[in-house]
Amino acid sequence: MTLEWEQVLIDAADPVALGSWWAEALGWVVVDESAEEYEIRETPDRLPGLLFVLVPDAKVSKNRLHLDFRPDDQEAEVARLLAHGARHADVGQGEESWVVLADPEGNEFCVLGPRRT
């Protein structure tokens, strides 16, 4: 049996707004768009994608799953994402080499430091 990783689903109060925010933040393209579902990918034919789905319940605690990103320049990327509307988030991480941010709906994600060699 073969499995192909299709997408990660992210609950959203406003899938279009949140999906658009992530598309701009990542430089990805929209591949499917409706008021209930909004899917983005790096390119139209490259998997996995992110699928934002309408969920009426508000987020109430730390994510059980989150995305990690490793940029070339952590400091510059954190500054860019903060200017784009992300905010710092405290999930109890303490002093670490990564920076925890949250998107406009409060979903946490990490911006990692340089890879150790």
The pLDDT averaged over each successive group of 10 residues in the chain (117 residues) is 91 96 97 95 96 90 88 96 94 78 95 83
- Give the pLDDT score at 117: 67
Q: What are phi and psi of 33, to 5 degrees?
A: -145, 125
What is the model's pTM? 0.88
Query: How far apart are alpha carbons 74 and 113 in whole angstroms?
Result: 6
What domains can you pick out in the chain, each with its CATH number? 7-58 (3.10.180.10), 59-117 (3.10.180.10)
Measured CA distances, 68 to 44, 46, 74 (Å): 22, 18, 12
- Give the pLDDT score at 96: 76
- Give the pLDDT score at 69: 95
DSSP code per residue over 58-116: PP-S--SS-EEE--S-HHHHHHHHHHTT-EE--SS--S-SSEEEE-TT--EEEE--PPP
